Amino acid sequence: MTWDRLAKLALVAALAVVAQAGGARATSFTWDTTDSATSSGGTLGPYTSNGQSIYAVGYRITGGTTAAAKMADTLMPATAVEFTGTTGGIGVVDSSETNASPANPISNQGRSGGQQITDMVAFALPGLGYYPTSITLHQFCANGLASGAQTCVPAGSTGFDDVSIFVGGNPANMPTGATTLAQLVSTYGFTQITTANLVTGSSLTGSGDRTINLTGTLPGAYLIIAASLNDNAGTPDYFKVAALSANKVAEPGTLAILAVGIAGVAVARRRHPSGTA
């Protein structure tokens, strides 16, 4: 057998091994967002898992009382704050609120000029190739209070679309101003999570602390978690983000390079057995 044919066979065998590994080439991460991260320049973090870190930034929108109007409203900076403990997590401080717990959740209960204020937090993931798989919420309720002791009224029989979630983008294209949620979807590659992207049995409605399980099929460098865009006055949502989980899938190009390396080693060893020059 010629060396060329041996090299080709080694390469085919290595690529076959990589192809069979396929879905196993993923690393799981869970970031605890009640873990006393620092705040610098309006950014919370780092939160670290398996050596990879994420960061959080707060936003709000103040226009409109319908989902369409909120999607078209410009994102405005808001202060993301972290509360530690079993009911803690990341919330948002609006201009009319004080930095105290259990106040300052991610909510849509505030009003400005008759318009609903909707809070959200944008999480910067470590880079491309991350697939969010779950979001844990603390103090979740469909009718919370902005101050004082938490009061939860469970969602009614018709339910509420209590959380709005977007995932997508890449590290270079997360806008910081004069941008709308609609533009994130139309221009920057974001997808709004729907029931089709939830694990069977999961729901975006309900009350109490809970975890939203995603199918893990939508990649992105950013994950945005907002109070519902669909709920209007009278059904405010109230929660803090306590943890995020995601899988990191190895890039196909990286696997191909690995396969070529394996093939090269195989050929080199065949040409120069141990102990020969």
Q: What is the pLDDT of residues 118-136, one digit of tens each?
A: 899 999 999 989 999 999 9
Domain count of the fold of the chain: 2
CA angle at 129 for the pair 124 and 133, rounded to the nearest 5°? 75
* pLDDT of the residue at 275: 47
* pLDDT of the residue at 117: 85
The answer, yes or no, to whether residue 4 has pLDDT greater than 80, is: no
Average pLDDT over residues 66-71: 90
Cα–Cα distance between 206 and 194 in angstroms, integer?
15
Co-location of 112 and 234 in the same domain: yes
- 150 neighbors 144 (Cβ within 8 angstroms): yes
* pLDDT of the residue at 251: 60
Average pLDDT over residues 189-209: 82
Strand bridging mode 238-249 / 26-32: antiparallel
Average pLDDT over residues 89-118: 71
Co-location of 21 and 37 in the same domain: no
- Backbone φ and ψ for 194, nearest 5 degrees, come out as -125, 180
Q: How many Cβ atoms are within 10 Å of 63's Cβ, its own excluded?
A: 17
Average pLDDT over residues 87-116: 71
Co-location of 184 and 48 in the same domain: yes
pTM summary value:
0.77
Lowest-confidence range among 111-120, 155-164, 192-201, 222-231? 155-164
Cα–Cα distance between 74 and 72 in angstroms, integer?
7
- 180 neighbors 72 (Cβ within 8 angstroms): yes
Instruction: Give, in order, the Cα–Cα distances in Å from 254 to each of 18, 118, 257, 259.
Output: 10, 41, 5, 9
Lowest-confidence range among 109-113, 165-169, 182-186, 229-233? 109-113
Co-location of 15 and 150 in the same domain: no
Look over the chain and give the mean of its residue pLDDT values, rounded to a whole number. Answer: 74
Co-location of 93 and 16 in the same domain: no
Per the structure, the complete domain to which residue 233 belongs is given by 26-249
Q: pLDDT tens digit string along 37-64?
A: 788 878 999 999 999 999 999 999 987 7
* pLDDT of the residue at 194: 87
Co-location of 11 and 52 in the same domain: no
* b/e code 231-254 from CB counts within 10 Å (16+ = b): beeebbbbbbbbbbbbbbbeeeee
Q: Which helix (H) or strand (E) holds 38?
A: strand 38-40
Co-location of 16 and 119 in the same domain: no
Co-location of 243 and 152 in the same domain: yes
Residue 72 in tokens: 């078209």
The answer, yes or no, to whether residue 19 has pLDDT greater than 70, is: no
Lowest-confidence range among 19-33, 143-157, 207-221? 143-157
Which has the closest alpha carbon to 211: 149, 115, 140, 112? 140
Three-state secondary-structure class, residue 30: strand
The answer, yes or no, to whether residue 5 has pLDDT greater than 50, is: no
The answer, yes or no, to whether residue 260 has pLDDT greater than 80, is: no
- 59 neighbors 79 (Cβ within 8 angstroms): no
Co-location of 64 and 97 in the same domain: yes
* pLDDT of the residue at 276: 46
Co-location of 268 and 178 in the same domain: no
Co-location of 73 and 181 in the same domain: yes
Co-location of 204 and 260 in the same domain: no
